[in-house]
Amino acid sequence: MQFVQNNIWLILTAVVAAYMLIWPALGKRFSGVVDVGVTEAVTLLNHNDAVILDVREDSEYYSGHVPHSRHIPLGALNKRHVELDKFKGKPLIVVCRSGARSGSACGMLRKLGFEQVYNLSGGVGAWQQANMPMEK
């Protein structure tokens, strides 16, 4: 007990650091967002008629994007999500540069009633690294 009293700030720092490491993984699990790799994304595209949504900014999108992807920047998704309503019954693969913004977009889309939402793990970078086609 004396150790705890003498080192309370050290213990609190360790608890906060552990929380910060564990929370992102738990948050994804409870939000219903599923990460998929490039192989799983291609399978969803080919066998389940999935739709790809690119949430990067305009300049990023126009510098190169996944073929046939739809483009709605993350900042505009709240206003423009109705453009995707016709795809609510299909799998929706969300992509950004690295997978972080698309993870946020997946959470937003789940709250808006989209049930089959997938986050492309590693984003466009992973897509390019797998030598998948890109278009401008």
User: Which one of the listed residues 55, 66, 94, 96 is annotated catalytic?
Assistant: 96
Active site residue 96: yes
Residue 14: both structure tokens together: 């360790």
SS3 114: coil
State the catalytic residues: 96
